[in-house]
């Protein structure tokens, strides 16, 4: 494990409140792992053997439906935490949407360390409550927002969370970024058809709110108008 004090997401990750000595102790328990696009780290229903901080890259959390279809239930960004400490099974799978770098721990060693360090337990609780808040916001998005409002909300979320290199400045946003999801995956995430996703992106482009240099990149040209659409519900 490399020096935790040099970690680009340390200030935003759950270990951000630890002292240098505590960081060194935690770092000795973990390892850095490069995950390639398409690789699954955690499988739904399997025993939760590992937990991890995301240092770089984007991953998806997904669940299987009875008919075999996949439902994306969340996107995991740099500084987010993966895994289920103090739980036996994972309720969802986690798969890399891009090449990613993780700081990974065995669940048992992480649990033991957390029990000995209340600050880390506190940050873990804050993380869990934050996930709950995001789940409630997503319920609002899926239940009440129109297709255009959903697309605008997702683009703004990506521009905020896709901070190059896991930038530690929460206020930093990107006006140009690569989409980690294809059109079908965006539709699965937002409860829309692929045709609706393409149509809404084209409409936002035609109205001058965004540019689409190619199918994988987005440039936000009018953030204020995009925010007005996202908050219309």
Number of domains comprising the chain: 2
Contact 85, 111 (CB under 8 A): yes
pLDDT value of residue 172: 57
Same-domain status, 132 and 174: no
Which pLDDT tens digit goes with each residue over 97-123?
Answer: 999 999 999 999 999 999 999 888 888
* H or E, element range at 229: helix 223-230
Same-domain status, 133 and 184: no
Whichever domain contains 149, its CATH number is 1.10.10.10
Low-confidence stretches of the chain (pLDDT < 70) are 1-2, 163-172, 233
**From the CB of residue 93, how many other CB atoms can be counted at a distance below 10 Å?**
20
Query: What SS3 class is residue 28?
Result: coil
Same-domain status, 13 and 121: yes
pLDDT value of residue 188: 87
Contact 127, 54 (CB under 8 A): no
Same-domain status, 80 and 183: no
Q: In Å, how far are 73, 90, 93, 227 from 44, measured between CA atoms? A: 12, 5, 4, 35
Same-domain status, 107 and 151: no
Same-domain status, 183 and 209: yes
| Owning domain of residue 37 | 4-138
Of 100, 118, 138, the last residue of a domain is: 138
Whichever domain contains 83, its CATH number is 2.60.120.10
pLDDT value of residue 9: 86
pLDDT value of residue 6: 79
Which pLDDT tens digit goes with each residue over 185-224?
Answer: 999 889 899 999 999 999 999 999 999 999 889 999 999 9
Of 100, 120, 138, the last residue of a domain is: 138
Same-domain status, 76 and 183: no
Same-domain status, 46 and 120: yes
Contact 214, 223 (CB under 8 A): no
pLDDT value of residue 165: 45
Query: What SS3 class is residue 54?
Result: strand
**From the CB of residue 33, how many other CB atoms can be counted at a distance below 10 Å?**
15
Token pair, residue 191, equals 């409860």
Same-domain status, 97 and 14: yes
Same-domain status, 156 and 130: no
């Amino acid at each position: 494990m490399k020096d935790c004090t040099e970690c680009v997401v340390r200030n935003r990750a759950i270990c951000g409140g630890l002292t240098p000595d505590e960081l060194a102790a935690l770092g000795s328990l973990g390892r850095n792992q490069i995950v390639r696009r398409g690789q699954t780290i955690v499988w739904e229903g399997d025993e939760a053997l590992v937990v991890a901080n995301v240092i770089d890259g984007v991953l998806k959390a997904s669940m299987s439906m009875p008919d075999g279809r996949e439902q994306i239930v969340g996107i995991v960004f740099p500084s987010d935490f993966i895994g289920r400490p103090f739980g036996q099974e994972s309720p969802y799978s986690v798969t890399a949407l891009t090449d990613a770098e993780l700081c990974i721990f065995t669940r048992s060693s992480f649990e033991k360390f957390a029990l000995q360090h209340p600050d880390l337990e506190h940050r873990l609780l804050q993380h869990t409550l934050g996930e709950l808040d995001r789940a409630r916001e997503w319920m609002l998005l899926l239940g009440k927002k129109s297709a255009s409002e959903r697309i605008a909300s997702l683009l703004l979320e990506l521009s905020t969370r896709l901070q190059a290199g896991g930038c530690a400045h929460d206020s930093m946003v990107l006006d140009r970024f690569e989409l980690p999801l294809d059109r079908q995956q965006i539709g699965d995430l937002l409860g829309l058809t692929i045709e609706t996703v393409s149509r809404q992106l084209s409409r936002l482009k035609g109205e001058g709110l965004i540019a689409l240099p190619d199918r994988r990149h987005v440039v936000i040209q009018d953030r204020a108008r995009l925010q007005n659409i996202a908050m219309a519900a």
